Amino acid sequence: MTTEFQSSKPIYMQIVDRIIIDILQEKQILGDKLPSVREKAVQIGVNPNTIQRAYSELERMSVVETRRGQGTFVIENSHLLDELRLSMQTEVINEYVKKMKEIGITKQQMISELQHYLKEED
Partner 1 sequence: MSILMQDVRKKYGNDYALKNVNLTFQKGKIYGLIGPNGSGKSTTLKLITGLIFPDSGNVTLHGHTVTRKTSVDIAYLTELDMFYDSFSVQETINYIASQFSDFNRNKAELLVKEMKLENNKKIKSLSKGNRARLKLVTTLARDADVILLDEPFSGLDPMVRDQIVKSLLQYIDFDNQILLIATHEINEIEPLLDEAIALYYGEVIGQEKVEDLREQKGLSVLQWFKQIIGTIEEDN
Residues that bind partner 1 (CB under 8 A): 1-3, 5, 7-12, 38, 41-42, 44-50, 53
Q: Report the nearest approach of partner 1 to the CB of residue 48 (Å).
A: 6
Identify which of residues 37 and 64 has a Cβ nearer to partner 1 in the complex: 37
In the complex, least distance from residue 122 CB atom to partner 1, rounded to whole angstroms: 38
Burial 42-69 (b: 16+ CB within 10 A, else e): eebebeeebbbbbbebbeeeebbeeeee
What secondary structure letter does DSSP report for 122?
-
Question: Is 37:55 a contact under the CB 8 Å cutoff?
Answer: yes
Residue 44 or residue 58: which is nearer to partner 1 going by CB?
A: 44
